[in-house]
Amino acid sequence: MLDWQSGDGGACLVTSAVCGVPADQVSAADLHVAWERIADAVRRLHEVPVSQCPFRRGLEAMVGVARDVVSRDAVNREFLPVDQQQTSTVELLDRLARQVPRRREQEAADTVVCHGDLCLPNIVLDPQTLDVSGFVDLGRLGLADRHADLALLLANARETRVDEGQARAADMAFAERYGIALDHDRLRFYLGLDPLTWG
């Protein structure tokens, strides 16, 4: 992101091209090599001073989006975890809504600049060095709980792992490199909320 401009005619986010390949297009071995570098890049994004980010995509905003999408029956069920695809989206949202007061407190104590759709296709790697070249698809960038980003990234990366043991090891390696004790309840909450916001 280079600049943000707004005026009477609307708003404009100015970005530059990011050279490289999406992280979901590299081999599992290369992703393993790049994993700590991805953790470093995500941490640096989350360390951007919140005062420098004019966008908000916090819990209240995203729950509002989810209510709208669910009310229009526009949720793409393929985005839901398999065990939730047969559950009413109204029920799924009601379950999440009961947690909102607690999640609101957590977000207030841990607001960072979030990517908003932090998954492997939106992380660009240099194919030679496997360093992170940058992030793309920043349409949902804004201030939010860091676990909103981490939930999506870790879940998406799990799809590349051969088994649960490897997935857990990768999650732990990421958390250690990033410098965080993962809150699995928060991860589950944001992983449940995100699919209800697309539609």
Provide the annotated active-site residues: 117
Q: Which tokens sit at 117?
A: 């759709």
- Among 64, 70, 153, 156, which residue's Cα sits nearest to residue 116? 153
Q: 1: burial class by Cβ within 10 Å (0-12, 13-18, 19+)?
A: middle
113/101 Cα distance (integer angstroms): 21
Tally of residues, the chain: 199
Give the helix/strand (H/E) hosting 76.
none
- Among 111, 101, 114, which residue's Cα sits nearest to residue 150? 114
Residue 7 φ then ψ, to 5°: -165, -165
CA atoms within 13 A of residue 93's CA, in its CB half-sphere: 18
194/117 Cα distance (integer angstroms): 9
Diameter over CA atoms, the chain: 53
